[in-house]
Amino acid sequence: MRRPALPLRVYIDRLRGLYGRPKRPIPSGPFEWIIWEHVAAVPDDEQRALVFRTLRQKIGTTPQAILRTPKPKMIELLAPGGPNPGARLARLHEAAELMIEIGLARVRTLVRESPVEATKLLKRFKGIGEPGADRILLFCRTQAALAPDANGLRVLGRLGYGKPNANGPAAYRQIGDALAPDLPRDYNWLIQAHQLLRRHGQDICRATPRCEACPLAPDCAWFRRGSR
DNA sequence: TAAGCCTGAATTTTGTCTCA
DNA sequence: TGAGACAAAATTCAGGCTTA
């Protein structure tokens, strides 16, 4: 497989130069991250953050708080997060019930002490697959992986960490394996790298990329293919 | 033989494009 | 500018294979 021309940290530095230092993620702990996944149906993180903060401030983010809040109140809180708040509420309720069944303390302990077991548990939650579980463990600072989302995967694939535009579980694992030797155990760096890759995939390295604005273009397979 | 893993297809949701 | 069609992303699910 083709390898990227430069170490990953060089690309991340270029993205930090372009976008600046990303803001600290808002959720803390595994259940807040599950809530974060479900509170909004829009790709815009600012909008998602707004709904999450309101929910946290007005009712709290424990499974019990979510289950005891009247449905109309919850729908009202979730409405700014995009279409179909009722479906999102149903998923939140399902997640809260499962979290109570498993035990929040047990999940927290496993996240801290056994990432493999924690991944198995997290994948029982609807909407959380392998990438989602890895992301939660990264943000909880227990698994030193990059856990790129679809946007990040696209960027990394085009740089040479996998096939350009590949997706699905196989591509996720392939890129994860290719990245592993380049990753430090510095969680601040990993989290920022995750955020910057996501931002870059959303803004510039889209399905139809804006290569003229991209600081990674000289090393990008997609750009070089197009400019030949 | 049961549990776990892998792969690819299916499904759902969201984003983008085109056209009136 | 809005609606509909289409494409892409992310996850789920089913079936086959491997291993203990």
Q: What is the mean pLDDT of residues A175-193?
A: 80
Fold of A8-22+147-224: Endonuclease Iii, domain 2 (1.10.1670)
Cβ-Cβ contacts under 8 Å for A31 (sequence gap 6 or more): A61, A62, A63, A95, A99, A104, A107
Nucleotide nearest to A84 (CA to C1'): B13
| pLDDT for res A96 | 80
- pLDDT tier for residue A227 given thresholds of 50, 70 and 90: very low
Percent of chain A with pLDDT over 90: 0
Nucleotide nearest to A154 (CA to C1'): C9
pTM of the model: 0.82
User: Which residue spans of chain A are classified as CATH 1.10.1670.10?
Assistant: 8-22+147-224
| pLDDT for res A167 | 54
To the nearest whole number, what is the mean pLDDT of chain A? Answer: 74
Nucleotide nearest to A124 (CA to C1'): C12
Domain A30-139: CATH class, spelled out:
mainly alpha
User: Which residue spans of chain A are classified as CATH 1.10.340?
Assistant: 30-139
**CB of A134 within 8 A of CB of A177?**
no
| pLDDT for res A31 | 83
pLDDT in tens, A60-110: 888 888 888 887 777 777 776 665 666 677 777 777 877 787 788 878 887
* Protein residues with beta carbon less than 7 Å from any atom of strand C: A 123, 125-132, 149-151, 153-154, 165, 167-169, 207
